[in-house]
Structure 1
Amino acid sequence: MKVTALIVCAGRGTRMGPGAPKQYRQLGGMPVLRHTAIAFLDHPDVTDVAVVIHRDDLALYEEAARGLPLLPPVIGGATRDESVRLGLEALAERAPDAILIHDGVRPFVTAETIAASIAVLDGAEAAIAAMPVFDTIKSGADGVVTGTIDRSILWRAQTPQSFRFQTILAAHRAVALRTDLPPITDDASVAEALGIPVRIVPGSEDAFKITTEADLRRAERHLRGDE
């Protein structure tokens, strides 16, 4: 199976504070994105890797990716779902069998999760890596608890999210034409909007998303083996 990893790095998140975008912050002496890319480049089941970037980040990207055998970068759009769609369109001519769509700021994705995300596509069109919810979850309004949600049916979605390439390309094209949908926050939501069943494979607590300075400090500790 020909498998491409599409790493999404076009965001301009502000929660990290001033400085370079979070995907280009230093982690253990190299940019976060470089750690993420290497995780996929080193995996024997991944054929090639492409990255979607913000148009203003080309110099940062070139520095982060120096020497890595990546496909040419793709310039993203105004939203995450648009950026992913543009990334998929850029890969349409290569037409891989499967695509792994991954957040650039999840550098500690495990080889086991990557393998499971690919293997599940032998019998499915779409899948996500996810973790069960163990905390008690409450609903609330105006500072008052309104109920307790059954956590046995809840999952924390992670990435990679894996798809048969033609399935998710067609889904993104269709969803881009619709105006009746709530904001799209992941690619499984694109599949769900069109009624495509999405399987779940085990994620990892290591695959946390670096969004804030506290997350970056946690990542440094993780890299040192302190947690």
Structure 2
Amino acid sequence: MRHAALIVAAGRGTRAGGPLPKQWQEVAGQSVARWTLQAFAHLDARVLVIHPEDRARAEAEAAGLDTRIVPGGADRAASVRAGLEALVAAAPEAVLIHDVARPAVPRTVIDAVLGALSGAPGAAPALPVTDALWRGADGRVAASVPRDGLFRAQTPQGFRFRAILDAHMAHRGAAADDVEVARAAGLDVAIVPGSEDNLKITAPGDFARAARILEDRHGYTARERI
């Protein structure tokens, strides 16, 4: 096996609102989770890490996509470790770790991460910060912050499998993302171009933005699909 995708979907996503965790809500005619899994259908394997209470729903959304479903842990780092451990027997050369809440990730971003792994143990997409940045205190602007060299991190974050597995097994405590875990273990992580389409659904209005991207890309509207 060469390439596997590990989709992290164990969170509750309460800031997004709605009756269900955001990964199970519908956007452009199907669930966020299914769109995300389909984005990685060209890889050799998929692991979906879920909240233990969501297994039945996860199995329904992953139907036909040859996906292993694994219960997650108490935080994101623990959930990623559970997913990596589920891939040990398959021993892929590389694994792409992706937030389920980014259902519109372009194929070009996925392929760029995979391509960069030929020259580095890790790679991740990002967009340079273009807005002015301030540091605030007590509701007032305290200082301007130079934006040179600053990036907005995205996923999938890709790694040579054994390297990131060892990094996660050695890591203690929480981590913002897998690049943080990798760098703590001394791994170099290459930056590849991200995409504005690769938005992360966080707030209620993000569902409509994701729907527009997916509908434009696939040539239909959610109403036509239904």
Identity of aligned residues (%): 50
Deviation at 1:144, TM superposition (A): 2.1
Pair 1:166-2:162 in alignment: yes
> Structure 2: any 5+ residue segments left out of the alignment?
218-226
Given residue 46 of structure 2, which amino acid in structure 1 is its aligned partner?
A: V
Distance 2:118 2:25 in 1: 36
Structure 1: how far apart are the matches of 2:140 and 2:65?
A: 51
Aligned twin of 1:209: 200
Q: Distance in 2 between matches of 1:219 and 1:116?
A: 21
CA RMSD of aligned residues (A): 1.4
The unaligned stretches of length 5 or more in structure 1 are none
Whole-Å Cα distance in 2 between the matches of residues 36 and 224 of structure 1? 14
Distance 1:191 1:68 in 2: 29
Partner of 1:48: 45
Q: TM-score, normalised by structure 1?
A: 0.91
Aligned to 2:175: 184
Secondary structure at the aligned position of 1:139 is classed as strand
1:96-111 map, 5 Å: 96-111=92-107
Aligned residue number for residue 14 of structure 1: 14
The worse-fitting range, judged by mean Cα deviation, of 59-68 and 129-138 is 59-68
Aligned residues: 217
- The CA deviation at 1:69 is 2.0
| Counterpart residue number, 1:68 | 65
* Alignment partners' CA distance in 2, 1:223 and 1:111: 13
Q: With structure 2 as the length reference, what TM-score do the two structures score?
A: 0.92
* 2: CA distance, partners of 1:35 / 1:81: 23
Q: Equivalent residue of 1:4, what SS?
A: strand
Partner deviation per Cα, 1:183-208 (whole Å, 9 max, x = no partner): 41100000111222211001100000
Which whole-Å CA distance do the structure 2 matches of 1:112 and 1:219 have between them?
A: 17
Q: Could you tell me which residue of structure 1 aligns to residue 108 of structure 2?
A: 112
Query: What is aligned with 1:130?
Result: 126
Match of 1:78 in 2: 74
